[in-house]
Every structure is written in structure tokens, then in C-alpha cells.
Amino acid sequence: MDQLRFDGRVAVVTGAGNGLGKEYALLLGSRGAKVVVNDLGGARDGAGQSANFADEVVKQIKDKGGVAVADYNSVVEGEKIIKTAIDNFGRIDILINNAGILRDRSFAKISDQDWDLVFAVHMKGSFKTTQAAWEIFKKQKYGRVVMTSSNAGLLGNFGQANYSAAKLGLVGLANTLAIEGEKYNIKVNTIVPTAASRLTQDILPPSMFEAMKPDLIAPVVGYMVHESFEGTGLIIDSTLGFATKTHLVRAEGSALRKKPTDPVTIESVKQNWDKVVDMKDAKHIQKISEVTVNLVDKLQDFEDRSKMDGDRESYWTTYSYNSKDLSLYALGVGASVVNPSDLKFLYEGHEDFVALPTYFILAGMCMEAPIVAQSMPPGKHADFTNILHGEQYIEFVGDYPRTEGTFTTRCYVVDILDKGSSAVAVVNSEIYQDKELIYRTQQHIFVLGQGGFGGPRASKLATEVAPAPKRKPDAVVEQRTAEDQAALYRLSGDYNPLHIDPNMATTAGHPKPILHGLATLGISARHVLAKYAGNNPANVKALKARFVKPVLPGHTLATEMWVEGTRVHFQTKVKETGNVVIAGAYVDLKKVESAAAAAPAAPAPQSAGALKSDALFAKITEEVKKNPAKAKSIGGVFLYNILDGGKTVKQWTLDLKAAAVFEGSPKGKPEVTMTVSDEDLLAIASGSLNPQTAFMKGKLKIAGNIMLAQKLGPLLKSDAKL
Ligand SMILES: CCCCCCC[C@@H](O)CC(=O)SCCNC(=O)CCNC(=O)[C@H](O)C(C)(C)COP(=O)(O)OP(=O)(O)OC[C@H]1O[C@@H](n2cnc3c(N)ncnc32)[C@H](O)[C@@H]1OP(=O)(O)O
């Protein structure tokens, strides 16, 4: 890489007589910048004054052929320091606010003077110096400013209340200046250094002090003030030759009331506190305007949800998943690399990688919601010690979900049934993505010993099981479960101790921890999928099952299947005992594809070479010309990002060789092939086929170098939304 230089630039470094500031000044001076070396020459606590420090640094810069001038003003009179730059060099481009002092005392002992002095040097000093340079930066439409914060400010540190407050104040100052400077090409960033300096000399242990050389941090700041540096409003923590970005994140938060008409009370705040502080889905907010948008969205969601809920108590939650979750789940329901047709459920690099349909039941489980417990009739209770999964239903409504995403789930109890000795809670879930319903589930939770309260025995709102035909099954698939099946399955999110804790299992009357009902169901559903659905999850419309008897890990499951139209009835038996464990179950398919028909010879892939046909390019170009705006956002998707890397890639060729080159692989050696028919490619270019949809429907496949293919996949997805 060419040396990054500062020729023609003028830099002011405050507190540059020693430590970090000195290193910044020496580095910039050695790279062609004219440097104002500011230092008051005071002691660490700000007392005293001397010209020696700054003069010495100026001498060192000049000795190496650089240009520098000393400045002995206090940063509190920042305008004088900037004047030194203008008087000597006629301009200013870079300002590093580095000067600082310490007045450490435990909080109770901090005097007004300790407080004021620390604030004067750090806050007022950075304010005055930056403000004096600001108008010049604005006029010349160029400026690079670095504020110096500290982990004591970001995190607090015993005995440094004054220093911490001032240091975090500087982050706030930088944040606002980054916004105000944006349109004038003024970049304002914050460095959080931990270095051996006069400030830390007898604070750090000697061995650490030795290692934390300021010259390991100076290049980080050097880059942050270079003209090629694009970042602004960043907080960069650096020490010991490491650098890392740090930023504040904001949790999803929670509404503090059920309906817009309800009051907020101290009690409702307490009730929702766990969600208020839940950082699971926390995000970094880039701009203050995002907070407003986010609040408006939240308010809208809150109102929409409250309308949907009416008088019904619902529980709303979000559920995020990624490829790792899908693979883990697939292992939990017995998929194995031993079976090649399972690979697409296990390996995110597989060109047909896809989620098993039963995986999506999990987002509808609302395990953490107290809704069943809260819906029990007076005197009855439900908890992990007395519930069993009784039945499960799932029905896909929209496009088959992708291999990663975030859902919003609404769960609510539709009925509590009285089955005599026991109760059954019927729980509905609706699962939304981007406010669109994509599937729904229903679970029956059997609550042992809690019946007899005079409630209804059946519910019109419950999806019924369907008894299997009375003939011999059309097919049977057997699979032995592993001893660790439940231990593995639970990692997908059902941590009910019944499935892992021997004491809990004994208390509930089982010889050992039992298998999750959904693990048994997942295994049987896989059998149906492979046998009659062409192993294609998107072929599944709905699935229903009743758990009739518990299964123990290690048991062999035999899934018996009957085909009736597009419905595949099934029941599952434990081979060792002959017990039926899943009954009345079925999978509704879009189309039955029996195993023989479902395993055709692999379709002949359309070679990447086909994409390079000149005739096809000519056609695409023609389409693009007809509607350039549309094509730019759709057909251009692919290459836009590749071009972002700064390489010249011929547009509209969709040439993945170029992508490989972009990734730094040897030229002319394509590492990725793209499989797409000429018609589909044309359709993408003309805007009639969304690449995201094409990717989802398997019409567009990327394979080869897995890392690269993975990168390209998300590019398609994210850009398709533009
Ligand atoms: C929101 C948070 C949710 C979190 C939930 C999930 C947490 C998970 O960790 C829990 C699990 O995975 S548990 C493991 C899987 N489930 C099981 O092993 C249950 C197996 N089933 C049984 O043991 C019995 O069927 C049993 C005990 C359920 C019923 O047996 P019996 O008492 O003998 O019932 P029976 O006399 O045959 O019938 C009585 C009435 O109940 C209905 N019924 C029977 N089985 C049902 C079942 N599985 N689900 C729903 N209803 C069921 C019958 O139809 C009958 O009603 P009716 O007289 O009105 O026809």
C-alpha cells in the first residue's frame, strides 16, 4: 500500500509535549504535515508551566526534516492555539484534542477546584480549540477532529468521578459535531487510548506500563485524521497494538401497558422490567432520527397489536434464528450426515440449504410466556412439573421462511378445556415477518391433574386430529433415537428439565428423562418429507399430530404412513414396545412426490458459461436500456456491491469470475458458479423476477467457494429490498 501522507496539511495536536500527543505530532510531522505542537508544560494535575516539552518535540520533528512550531497556550484559550497555526502555516486541517489532566480523588473528597480544573482542560479546552477551528473547516469543506475519551468515562473508574464525567462528555461533543460537520466533510471521531503516559505512569503496573507504548496507538489516530478516513462519530478504543470500535446499543424495550387507554403504573413498570432490560435484540442506533422513527413504529405496532388483541390477553414476542439454529435443530430431530439427503438441513454451505418445516413450530412456542399459567381457572395451576405437550399444529400461509430471519409472534390461549382429571390449554400462535402473517401454529398443552373445574370438554377453535386409514400403511420408515437425543434437542430452546433432569423425570413418573414431543414429531415429519414430499419443505402446507405416549431417548421410532390425496396420514410407534406415541397425525402437501419420483437424476445445471454468451448479454443490455431505473435497483443489485470493492467489473455480465477476483483469488480462476436459466436471468434483469425470490425459490443458485457464495447470497437478499 502507498504510504498515507499528510503533505500540505496542517495539524494541531494539544498536549503534544509528551506521551500520546508527542507520538501523534512526531508521526504526522514525519508524514509531511506541518505541526503545531501545543503544550502548556504543566504537571499531571495541571500545575505549573514550561516551554521545554513542546520545544523538544518541535526539535525532534525538525531534526527529521519536518516542519513544526511550538505553542504554549492553555487549551482553555484554544483560539490562540489555532491562531498559531494560521499565523505560521496559513491554514488548519487536523485537530487532535489530546491535552488532559488528572485530579483523582474518591467522590466525597472532590473539591470544586478539582472538578472545575478537570472540566476546564478536557471539556472547555476541546470546545474552545475545536470551535476556533470550526469556521475554517466549514469554509474549506475539510476538517479532521479527534477527541480523546477514556474507558474511565465509558465505564467509570474508582476515584475518577470528575475525569470520567468530562471524558464521557467529550463523546457527546464528538457525536454532535459529527452530525453538524457531516455536510462540510468534517469528520469528528473519538479515540479511547490506554497508554503509558505521564497520566498513567504510577497508576499502571510497571510491566503493563512498559508494554502500552503510545507509538502503538499513534498510527490509529493517524489514520483517523487522514483524508482517506471516511468514518465519523466513531469511538475507537486502542491499546497494545489493538483497536476496536465501541458503541452504545439500545434494547428492543417493552410497552409498559396492555392497551393505549391503560395507565402506566409503578406495578406495570415492574411487571415489564425484564423485557425493558432484555438486551437479546439490542441494536446500535446510528442516528438520533432513528430513535424517533423507532418510537413511531413501536407506537404504531402497539396500537395495531392492541386492536388485534381486543379483549384477549396476548403475548407478543420476537424470535430470531440463523443457519446455526437450523443445523442444530436438524441434529436434534435425527438428521445425519450419514444420510446424504439430510445434508441440506445440516450444512449452511449446501446449495439447497433449507429449514425443516417443523423447525418453525419453535417460534410459536412462547415457552417463556406465562400465558397458560395465567389462564388456568381459579384453584388450578400449570407449571413445568405438570404440563405435557399434547398436540401440535402448524400451517404455512405465506412464502416458505428463509434460512435466517426474525419473526414477531403473537401467542394467546383460545380455550382451557376440562378433560375430567386433567385440563388442556389450547394455545394459538401467529407468526409474522415484516407484519405479514407467514404461518400459524396451535399447541394443546395437557395440564395433568388440573381438570374438574366445570369447563368445556371440546373447543370449536381447536384443529382436530385425523385418524389414520384402517388399512396397512403404505410406507414405514424406522429410526433409532440416540440416548442423547433429548440432551441435543433441548439446545434448540426447550429447556424443560423433564427432558434432562433424572430427578425431575422420576418425580413426573418417568423412568428417565423423556424425549420432547416435538423431537419425536420432527423425526417423523422428516420421514414423511423424504418419503412423500420430495424432501422439499416448501411442499408442506400443514401438519398436525397428537402425542399419545412419552418416548424415551434410545427408543426406535417407526413412522407409518398412508397417502390419501395430498394428505399423508401418519402415526409413530416405538418399535421396542409396540406403543403408538404419535397418533391422528397428518401432513398436508401441495403435491405428493413419492420417494422414487422424488429422487430424479440431478437436474443438469446450467453452466456459468451460459451466462457469458454474448447474445444473452446483448438481450440483457437491451432490457436494461428499456428501463434503466428499474434495472439499476434490480438487475444491478448483484454487481453494485461487487463494484463497491473498487474493482472494474463489466456491468450486466453477472460474471462471477469478477466476484472471485474481487475476493482476491487468482484472476481467471472462477471459484464460484452461478446456476440460473437464461429466462430467469433475463427476467431478473428486466425486473419481472426479484432476485431475492429467485434465490429463495432455488431458481438462482450460487455454489463453489462457500465463503464467497455465502457472501453473495446475503448481498442479493439485502439489496433486493432497496
Ligand atoms: C406455552 C408453553 C408451552 C410449553 C409446552 C411444552 C413443553 C415440553 O417440554 C413438554 C413435552 O415435550 S412433553 C413430551 C411430549 N408429550 C408427551 O409425552 C405426552 C404423551 N401423551 C400422554 O402421555 C397422554 O396422551 C396424556 C397424559 C396427555 C393423556 O393421557 P390420558 O390422561 O390417559 O388421556 P385419555 O384418557 O386418553 O383422554 C382424556 C381426554 O384427553 C384427550 N387427550 C388425550 N391425549 C391428548 C393429548 N395428547 N392432547 C390433547 N388431548 C388429549 C382425549 O381426547 C380425551 O378427551 P375427550 O374425552 O374429550 O375425547
Percent of the chain at pLDDT above 90?
A: 68
CB 407 within 8 A of CB 318: yes
Query: Among the listed ranges 135-144, 225-234, 635-644, 697-706, which one has the minimum average pLDDT value?
Result: 635-644
Judged on CB neighbours under 10 Å (0-12, 13-18, 19+), 703 is middle
Residue 273 predicted with pLDDT over 90: yes
Q: At residue 194, what is the residue type?
A: T
Closest CA to 227 of 14, 22, 32, 15: 32
Looking at residue 596, what is its pLDDT?
Answer: 57
CA distances from 3 to 218, 359, 484, 645 (A): 15, 53, 58, 20
Indicate the top mutation candidate among 319, 446, 512, 574 to test ligand 1's pocket, ranked by most ligand atoms within 8 A of CB: 446
Looking at residue 623, what is its pLDDT?
Answer: 54
Distance of alpha carbon 565 from alpha carbon 562, whole angstroms: 10
Please state the φ and ψ torsions of residue 359, each to the nearest 5 degrees: -55, -35
Looking at residue 508, what is its pLDDT?
Answer: 84
Give the residue numbers annotated as catalytic, written as ranges. Answer: 163
pLDDT class of 309 with cuts at 50, 70, 90: confident
Ligand 1 atom at minimum distance from 519 CA: 12
Beta bridge partners of 685: none
CATH ID of 250-309, from 1.10.287.4290, 1.10.3720.10, 3.40.190.10, 3.40.50.300: 1.10.287.4290
CB 451 within 8 A of CB 530: no
Higher pLDDT, 717 or 555: 555
Indicate the top mutation candidate among 374, 388, 410, 448 to test ligand 1's pocket, ranked by most ligand atoms within 8 A of CB: 388
**Protein residue closest via CA to atom 37 of ligand 1:** 548
What nine digits make up the cell of 228? 482517506
Looking at residue 259, what is its pLDDT?
Answer: 84
pLDDT by residue (tens digit) across 519-546? Answer: 999 999 999 999 999 999 999 999 999 9
Residue 61 predicted with pLDDT over 80: yes
Q: Tell me the CA–centroid distance for residue 364 and ligand 1, in Å.
A: 19
Q: How many helices (H) and strands (E) does the chain have?
A: 26, 22
Looking at residue 209, what is its pLDDT?
Answer: 77
Looking at residue 710, what is its pLDDT?
Answer: 45
The answer to whether the 10-247 and 250-309 domains have the same CATH topology is: no
Superfamily, domain 316-598: Hotdog Thioesterase (3.10.129.10)
pLDDT by residue (tens digit) across 220-253? Answer: 999 999 999 999 999 999 998 999 999 999 998 9
Closest CA to 413 of 423, 424, 426, 422: 426
pLDDT by residue (tens digit) across 659-709? Answer: 332 333 333 333 444 566 666 666 665 667 766 666 667 666 655 544 444
- Domains of the chain, residue spans: 10-247, 250-309, 316-598, 608-720
The two beta strands, 34-38 and 10-13, are parallel
Beta bridge partners of 480: 556
Query: Among the listed ranges 68-72, 110-114, 222-226, 317-321, which one has the minimum average pLDDT value?
Result: 317-321
Judged on CB neighbours under 10 Å (0-12, 13-18, 19+), 17 is buried
How many C-beta atoms surround the C-beta of residue 624 within 10 A?
A: 20
Percent of the chain at pLDDT above 70?
A: 80
Looking at residue 613, what is its pLDDT?
Answer: 35
Closest CA to 237 of 360, 133, 134, 148: 148
CATH level 3 topology of 10-247: Rossmann fold (3.40.50)
Looking at residue 686, what is its pLDDT?
Answer: 60
Looking at residue 445, what is its pLDDT?
Answer: 96
What nine digits make up the cell of 565? 390425496
Which helix (H) or strand (E) element contains residue 283? strand 283-284
Q: Which residue has the cell 455454489?
A: 703
Residue 267 predicted with pLDDT over 70: yes
For every residue of 304-361, DSSP letters joined together read HHHHHHTTS-EEEEEEEE-HHHHHHHHHHTT--TTSGGGHHHH-TTSTT----GGGGG
Query: Among the listed ranges 87-96, 374-383, 617-626, which one has the minimum average pLDDT value?
Result: 617-626
Give the mean model confidence (pLDDT) for residues 66-78. Answer: 97
**Protein residue closest via CA to atom 15 of ligand 1:** 517
Mean pLDDT for the chain overall: 85
Q: Tell me the CA–centroid distance for residue 150 and ligand 1, in Å.
A: 59
Looking at residue 208, what is its pLDDT?
Answer: 77
Give the helix, strand, coil percentages of the chain, each rounded to 5: 40, 20, 40
Higher pLDDT, 435 or 607: 435
Beta bridge partners of 128: none
Looking at residue 50, what is its pLDDT?
Answer: 66
Looking at residue 603, what is its pLDDT?
Answer: 30
Residue 31 predicted with pLDDT over 70: yes
CB 86 within 8 A of CB 133: no
Looking at residue 212, what is its pLDDT?
Answer: 84
Ligand 1 pocket list (CB less than 6 A): 365-367, 369, 372, 387-391, 419, 422, 424, 427, 444-446, 457-458, 494, 496, 498, 514, 516-517, 546-550
